[in-house]
Amino acid sequence: ADVRVDQRLREQELQPDGSLSDFKEPPDAVLERMRAAVGDAAAAHPGGRVLLVTHALAILAYLCEVMRVEVGRLRLLPYYTSVSVVRIKGDRRMVGALADTSHLELD
């Protein structure tokens, strides 16, 4: 019921031609805004659960930060509607699930 739009969760800006080789927005800037958006959401709901919806490159930047992997080293492209879980306790962040798509499987 508490739906909000946070522009910090937008996708990483690409060059006008969509090229992935040279980003218009530096990865550090993406990480900074993602870190702030996640931190603010967690602080607003201490001990609760928060669902954030964002895009592949922005998700990867944040997940790399949490897992202490250099951006660009994690060879993963989150599938549309995949779910990644980050657990937060104080200043600690831990990945609990990574690009899970089990909710898309049909019996």
User: How many angstroms separate the Cα of 2 from the Cα of each of 21, 30, 41, 57?
Assistant: 37, 25, 12, 25
Q: Is 63 exposed, middle or buried (0-12, 13-18, 19+ CB in 10 A)?
A: buried
Give the C-alpha separation, 12 to 41, whole Å.
Answer: 20
The residue that leads in pLDDT, 13 or 104, is 104
pLDDT above 90: percentage of residues in the chain: 53
pLDDT of residue 36: 96
Please tell me the pTM assigned to this model. Answer: 0.83
Nearest to 2 by CA among 55, 56, 47, 49: 49
Give the C-alpha separation, 78 to 80, whole Å.
Answer: 7
- Rounded to the nearest integer, the mean pLDDT of the chain is 87
Question: Is the pLDDT assigned to residue 93 strictly greater than 90?
Answer: yes
Is residue 24 very low, low, confident or very high in pLDDT (cuts 50, 70, 90)? confident
**Least confident segment among 2-6, 11-15, 62-66, 68-72:** 11-15
Is residue 21 very low, low, confident or very high in pLDDT (cuts 50, 70, 90)? low
Please, which residues have CB within 8 angstroms of residue 29's CB and are 6 or more apart in sequence? none
